[in-house]
Amino acid sequence: MLVPVAFADGFGTTARVFTFDGLADGREHLALGLGDRSAAPRPGACDRDPTPTRLHSECLTGDVFGSGRCDCGAQLRESVERLDASGGFLLYLRQEGRGIGLYPKLDAYVLQDAGLDTYEANVALGYGEDERDYTVAAQMLGALGVSRVELLSNNPDKAAQLRALGITVARRVPTGVHLSDANAHYLATKVVRGAHTLDLHVQP
């Protein structure tokens, strides 16, 4: 299914949307085929070169409402444009709040306002620092005929999990730094606590 995609700054393109049956967690995840990947994969397709790929965890507050507390919306916008230019897949994963869900994420915001960082807040609510599991991402890539990726991500855990699940991560390409006064502490915390590859000159 082809879907026109547009962003508030005027950038737009067309993506092919792929849906999946039988994923491990039973949720409704999507893949967007962009650029020269906006065509259905051939049956039994096998990739020779790494496919540019972004695993993007759903963030309603950032992706839809433009929240400045994170950089999710900006990363989504950047990734769609880059994958449209190179050809590749964006996997939109229903993993709100690093896997804890929307309402708990909003509860975590309250704790962050009281002084906890984004990881501490998740733990204080009884969750792990990062609850995300990328088994479904590996399943989706397999269904798309993708076994080798060039991973567009600042997060080394995504690459490590994909490799453990049998996906070859030929290289990891960081996204840009979408820094603002509102998200500076959040981004710095991801660098210090999550080893994200962001070139920041601020302290958490």
CA angle 46, 42, 40 (to 5 degrees): 120
Q: What is the pTM of this model?
A: 0.90
Q: What is the C-alpha separation between 10 and 19, in angstroms, rounded?
A: 27
- Is residue 178 exposed (0-12), middle (13-18) or buried (19+ Cβ within 10 Å)? middle
SS3 state of residue 182 = coil
Convert the pLDDT of each residue in 60-118 to its tens digit.
999 999 998 898 999 999 999 999 999 999 999 999 999 999 999 999 999 999 999 99
- Start-to-end Cα distance in the chain: 43
Whether 130 is catalytic: yes
Q: What is the C-alpha separation between 153 and 88, in angstroms, rounded?
A: 14
Whether 132 is catalytic: yes
SS3 state of residue 44 = coil
- Set 63, 71, 117, 130: catalytic member: 130
